[in-house]
Amino acid sequence: MSSKNKLPADGPSHHVGEHEPLVPPLDAITKLELFLEKHWRMVVAVLVVTVAAVVIFFYLKYKREDAMTQANNAFTAAVTRSDFEGVVTAHPGTIAAGSALYEIADRQLAAAELEGAQASLEKFISDYPDHKLRENALLGLGGISEKQGDLDKASDYFQQVIDMGDKTSLGPLATICKTEILVAKGELEQAMEIYESFAVNNVGSPFIGKAEERMAAVEAKIKRQAAPEAPVEPAPEEPETPAPSTDPTAPPAPVETPAPGEAPAPGEAPAPGEAAVPAADADVPVNGAPAEEIPEPSEEPVEPPTDGAE
């Protein structure tokens, strides 16, 4: 065997300090054992609490998701108002319950139940402040307050939607609604300024058409107020006709009679004590015989009788 295939008698050579030791030092093992021996109860307790917390977390998550699923299914199956009320009662705090409460308010508003709709919307905003329909509820409350004549309260609700800024797409609509409050108060110049600014800053808004329509109406009102009013001539007064007397002892009212030589028109009723004048086409009997039976006078000469007696 050649010498190049022989291994050294001492095996592979090692140099002191060339590699880290694979086994930790004895003093480190001793410190860990001492810690576990001294605090093992605490370590076990921490492990148990951690495992329990993880289990509880996933259990609650499952229950929450299951409750949301049941609430969504109940909301989808609801048809009548009582069905939606059942969703609100059986699944409080869920998004579906908030949507059901908003649906109840919407149906109450459609039935002109203003007070009931107002109470439902106020409860919706209080119980579900983060619901996606919150701004819709604020607009609804503003509209109800406007119908009730409380314009300042309505304006406050519309302003809450405007203050949401980019968080909602209903800000332009709220601006139009609040501007109409100014129109109702007669502040036309201020309303016109807001509409002009709206038209410039909301070119792509889906509410730009409504704003332009309302702006034209406000402009027409301003022009009508600025135009002088044409004088209105009073209508001529008609003579008053005295009411018939109910006193039986009162003398009868005088009857107008035609002037001498005048006769009432044919067919008209004669005055008391006057003879009626027949119509031109009426058949009037003469000497007891109808007009058509009166013989016409003969045009032939009548010879005098002669004395024929002899």
Closest CA to 40 of 51, 32, 29, 28: 32
Do residues 239 and 219 lie in contact, with contact meaning Cβ atoms separated by under 8 Å? no
Statement: residue 46 has pLDDT above 70: yes
Residue, of 62 and 293, whose pLDDT is higher: 62
Per residue in 152-165, pLDDT (tens digit) is 999 999 999 999 99
**Residue 253 has what pLDDT?**
60
C-alpha count within 13 angstroms, C-beta hemisphere, residue 207: 16
Do residues 102 and 96 lie in contact, with contact meaning Cβ atoms separated by under 8 Å? no
Do residues 138 and 161 lie in contact, with contact meaning Cβ atoms separated by under 8 Å? yes
**Residue 196 has what pLDDT?**
93
Percent of the chain with pLDDT over 70: 66
Per residue in 194-248, pLDDT (tens digit) is 999 999 998 888 999 999 999 999 999 999 988 776 666 777 777 666 666 566 6
Phi-psi region of 283 (alpha: psi -120 to 50; beta: other; left: phi over 0): beta
**Residue 308 has what pLDDT?**
47
Do residues 283 and 292 lie in contact, with contact meaning Cβ atoms separated by under 8 Å? yes
Statement: residue 4 has pLDDT above 90: no
Statement: residue 13 has pLDDT above 60: no
Locate 241 and state its tokens. 């006709």
Domain ranges of the chain: 28-132, 152-226
Whole-number Å distance between alpha carbons of 202 and 191: 16
Whole-number Å distance between alpha carbons of 94 and 80: 19
**Residue 227 has what pLDDT?**
79
For residues 64-76, give the mean pLDDT: 86
Give how far the C-alpha of residue 25 lies from the chain's centroid of Cα atoms, to the nearest Å: 82
Q: What is the CATH number of domain 28-132?
A: 1.25.40
Per residue in 108-146, pLDDT (tens digit) is 999 999 999 999 999 999 999 999 999 999 999 999 999
- What is the residue-averaged pLDDT of the chain? 78
Locate 196 and state its tokens. 């002009």
Do residues 199 and 212 lie in contact, with contact meaning Cβ atoms separated by under 8 Å? yes
Locate 44 and state its tokens. 């076990």
Q: What is the pTM of this model?
A: 0.58
Q: Where are the alpha helices (DSSP H) in 16-166?
A: 26-77, 81-90, 95-110, 114-127, 134-147, 151-163
Statement: residue 52 has pLDDT above 80: yes
**Residue 37 has what pLDDT?**
75
> Which letter, b or e, does each residue of 81-113 get, where b requires 16 or more Cβ atoms within 10 Å of its Cβ?
eeebeebbeebeebbbbbbbbbbbbbbbbeeee
Whole-number Å distance between alpha carbons of 6 and 148: 110
> Would the CA dihedral through 29, 31, 32, 34 be positive or negative?
positive
